[in-house]
A and B are shown apart, each in its own frame.
Chain A
């Protein structure tokens, strides 16, 4: 067999340096593969020794030759499937992740053939997982085109070795059938000599063959269907494309040829790297700079592209047939349009009309001068630039606070907010934003607008926007909520990579992990620790106001959180106060858009009122789908266009918050029942959500089913809200982000 590089393979504790760090020796990992090898080799050897001689004499030599060839094929494919590197991604280098963890979103959305797919941040490997990539917790590696982790070969099945695994299944089925068939033939001719050793052995071999035939044939049939449909086991089991469109399929014939006939994919780890021979020395050549080139710079290459693609695909998304799976609809896309709206509506009333017509960039440009001190602006803007992607914390608090304190619109508040925001960023990284002790989902509230990679949506804009109380705010709020929910979906519980990186839990789709959910309990325990951290971060500007505000909001938030849409949850916790709170909070949520300028980050609780859906999102840290869940009947659901995947609905609100703060989304999936694939495929299939939610949760813990009911009910209204959002925002595809003085980012449509 060709030498293959497999991290943590049968070698035991010592693992190749290029893959993961050495893992503890777990002998239990080798039991299935040893058993499988023993049965395969042992039974076949017995067959060849006891059955074949008589068969070859009686009938022809072709029988053992045929069986030998098939067995050799089985062994070859088995070895390749076992020892070949499935397509492990090397860990990203540190400078690749130079974007601040605190501000980077958990999810990045990319459009594949018109379908939004979410790429999740892998805390262990330090990159956004490519589509179809998943992190295997057994092997502790991200694997390309992750299919599943097969215990029988003790290896992940991914892009590079799927073909061998598939052929192994096919050949093993043929081999079992041949052994059983020829054994039966032998027995039929030896009915009178059944007490002979040969007959007894043949019968034993037939029993083993018959025993293994059913599961192997079943698995083979399953994979034949998967290959024909162009899906991976991971995608099939998690129901990603249920009723939806699979962007990775090219038709049955092409799918089959891709699996069987494509060239062997290359290894990524353990490659020979040539030493760098190019010497780079100044002076350097410079291109001729034209005036058009002088200007701001695009904030982030990838994000920019994603944003553009996501924006342009927004309309496309709208028209996508409902499908599938839960993964929250492309929040970022919706986010942008909502943001624009928000910006437009949040701004001074006199400008709102202008804003509504103008493209987003000019709007923000307009708002910039209204910011407070330049120094503050600078810090705020620079922060906002970076926070583009993950400023969820900022958004929600402002919304809530705005609803709480309509009058809070003074300059100092803006400054304070900015200062707060900065701190909030740090805080976020540290321990989940606004971790109000009493509000388990405070972390979640941060999600509402989190993960938004809208660079130009800076804090100042929000602040200035908050001042106005135009009626359009309501719609904006809806949009915001929609966006927020969308974002929260994308960012799931933790909108920031920093939080994800704190706990390197990797949810991998392996059959073992499916059977042993172990995630939930940990979240519970994490909750108590979270709250104390938050309060310490209040900025000097807002300390008095915010602290006071927050406490009140905390109470409300906690209530709101409990009351959230997941009725099953709520009832479990504290139904009576929740009901009251919810009533109280619902009106507030409508006022939120107006109050954007509230000191935001710290006041997580305020967000809870309208970020109830967020709470679900937080819970669904592990499962990509969960986040968008069920939003309370308030305006928020309307905005949320993300179908609550509901996979992680089994967490309590406290647990959810904990997930947000301290647990990486991976592995946080609903009790580990099904580790939702890290890459979400966002489909806008609100109508399908109901079906999807329910059907996608069979492996989930018993508590999940009730949750799934509530989310599904939410999607209906959400569906209506979404369309209005998109038309307002039409990315021309030529929006240039310019960094101006003080770090403000403007979007200028080119």
Chain B
């Protein structure tokens, strides 16, 4: 059973104010874009266009979003001079540097969160979709929430 989490840590997508609930459309379905492991365990998501989204968003847009995410994750996991220096510095300071400094990965994760927020605002929310940051799912899936289109009474979903 899922542990009960405080509101801030809650997994629910819905806001907590009644007014917001009224304004927010109801969730019709969720699509999960799985990880793409063909090149190993680096964090990449499948760019295959889920069929449930066929009527909601353009394929190119979706693929563009996923590709950008993949590039960002690749950048986060890149084994470069920067990460090496970070490791050396951490070693030298007995890892106390982690108390004050943000790691490279975390910095890129912030960038990714910002990107997803921006994509949601500009592209997905107007189409009744919502992207969830995959880090909330342990970088296993990109969860796309499909909202019910009440204007024409259609309900998407499996």
Contacts and interface: CB of A to CB of B under 8 A. Distances in A.
Interface of A: 1-3, 17-21, 72-73, 75-76, 80, 89-96, 98, 110-113, 117, 127, 130-132, 144-145, 163-164, 167, 247-248, 250, 254, 257-258, 260-266, 268, 271-287, 289, 293, 296-298, 301-302, 304-305, 309
Contacts of B50: 298, 301
Given A20-B3, A131-B37, A263-B83, 19 more contacts: A17-B5, A17-B9, A18-B5, A21-B3, A91-B2, A131-B41, A144-B138, A262-B79, A262-B87, A263-B77, A264-B86, A266-B106, A273-B9, A276-B15, A282-B148, A293-B55, A301-B32, A301-B46, A301-B52
Contacts of B65: none
Among B9, B39, B56, chain A packs the most CB atoms within 10 A around the CB of B9
Given A282-B25, A287-B56, A76 B136 contact: no
A54 to B, nearest CB: 28
Given A130-B140, A279-B125, A286-B55, A264 B103 contact: yes
B144 to A, nearest CB: 10
Contacts of B143: 96
A21 B149 CA distance: 37
Interface in B32-91: 32-41, 46, 48, 50-52, 54-58, 76-79, 82-84, 86-87, 90-91
Nearest to A303: B34
Nearest to B103: A264
Given A89-B138, A286-B55, A301-B48, A96 B95 contact: no
Contacts of A19: 3
Given A261-B83, A264-B98, A286-B56, A305 B34 contact: yes
A280 B147 contact: yes
Contact of A304 (B48, B56, B104, B147): B48
B95 A2 contact: yes
Contacts of A91: 2-3
Contacts of A113: 38-40
A274 B15 CA distance: 11
A95 B11 CA distance: 11
Given A278-B117, A301-B31, A301-B32, A263 B105 contact: yes
A297 B51 contact: yes
Contacts of B39: 112-113
A89 B140 contact: yes
Interface of B: 1-6, 8-11, 13-15, 20, 23-25, 30-41, 46, 48, 50-52, 54-58, 76-79, 82-84, 86-87, 90-91, 94-96, 98-99, 103-106, 109, 113, 117, 120-121, 125-130, 135-141, 143, 147-151, 158
Given A96-B32, A280-B147, A17 B56 contact: no
A127 B20 CA distance: 31
A95 B144 CA distance: 12
A248 B40 CA distance: 6
B8 A275 contact: yes
Contacts of A257: 79, 84
B138 A90 contact: yes
B98 A289 contact: no
Contacts of A248: 40-41
Contacts of B105: 263-266
Contacts of A285: 126-127
A112 B37 contact: yes
B151 A284 contact: yes
A394 B34 CA distance: 28
A321 B63 CA distance: 35
Contacts of B127: 284-287
Contact of A92 (B87, B103, B137): B137
Nearest to B11: A93
A289 B138 CA distance: 34
A132 B149 CA distance: 40
Contacts of B151: 282-284
Report the 8 A-B pairs with minimum CB-CB distance, sorted nearest first.
A284-B128, A297-B51, A2-B98, A298-B51, A302-B34, A76-B94, A263-B83, A89-B138
A493 B95 CA distance: 45
B147 A278 contact: no
Contact of A96 (B20, B36, B87, B141): B141
B95 A247 contact: no
A278 B86 CA distance: 35
Contacts of A3: 99
Contacts of A18: 3, 5, 9
Nearest to B105: A263
B15 A275 contact: yes
A263 B103 contact: yes
Contacts of B34: 301-302, 305
B136 A273 contact: yes
Contact of B1 (A21, A73, A296): A21
B156 to A, nearest CB: 10
Contacts of B139: 268
Nearest to A302: B34
Contacts of A298: 50-51
Given A132-B41, A262-B77, A280 B141 contact: no
Contact of A127 (B41, B129, B140): B140
Contacts of B137: 90, 92-93, 96
Contact of B84 (A112, A145, A261, A301): A261
A614 B106 CA distance: 46
Contacts of A95: 30
A144 B54 CA distance: 33
6 contacts: A18-B5, A96-B32, A264-B98, A264-B103, A282-B148, A284-B127
Contact of B41 (A17, A90, A145, A275): A145
A113 B37 CA distance: 8
Nearest to B128: A284
A271 B136 contact: yes
B24 A273 contact: no
A130 B104 contact: no
A70 to B, nearest CB: 12
A89 B139 CA distance: 9
A277 B54 CA distance: 25
Contacts of B54: 289, 293, 297
A113 B30 CA distance: 29
